[in-house]
Amino acid sequence: MKLNELRDNPGATKPRKRVGRGPGSGVGKTGGRGIKGQKSRSGVAINGYEGGQMPIYRRLPKRGFTKPFRDEFVVINLDGLAKFIEAGKIDASAKIDEDVLIASGLVRRKRDGVRLLGRGEVTQALTIEVTGASKSAIAAIEKAGGTVTVLAPAKAAAESDAE
């Protein structure tokens, strides 16, 4: 077999339908769009319109509530933290706080704080200071001989200062 002998399977590719190229083509004149009306014109996209039927976005019930001023935490896991410690980007012997995590590149920005989650394993005794931590993360770090200090979120601290 040579490169010039390679062919697609029969029926694998179809020729492009050339719309609006005369009456003999089968899709000439109106180009398969019917006659007149909004949909026969170009540049029409009637999203969500169901033509007299109640649209799905009105048929479905509205549920729940989205809190507009909720705290947004940046999430890190123990495995990501361990990887950065092994790479030498974070010093395990020093206190690890949110500024150290940003400087190392593990966290891009602080938002309302950093929350530590328990996926992964930690072998060294770490001293960590973050805005939030899951019970499993605290247990894993304390099992390795370290400590976790959970701070108040930045918004809560700012509001208590204002009072």
Residue range 58-104, pLDDT digits in tens:
999 999 999 998 889 999 999 999 898 888 888 888 898 889 889 99
Give the span between the Cα atoms of 54 and 115, in whole angstroms: 44
Residue 92 domain-assigned (yes or no)? yes
pTM: predicted TM-score of the whole model, two decimal places: 0.58
Please, are residues 115 and 135 in contact by the beta-carbon 8 Å criterion? no
Residue 41 domain-assigned (yes or no)? no
Write down the pLDDT at residue 126.
87
Helices (H) and strands (E) in the chain, counts: 5, 6
Residue 8 domain-assigned (yes or no)? no
Residue 37 domain-assigned (yes or no)? no
**Domain limits for position 89:** 74-162
Domain count for the chain, please give it: 1
Other Cβ atoms closer than 10 A to 141: 23
Write down the pLDDT at residue 155.
65
Residue 84 domain-assigned (yes or no)? yes
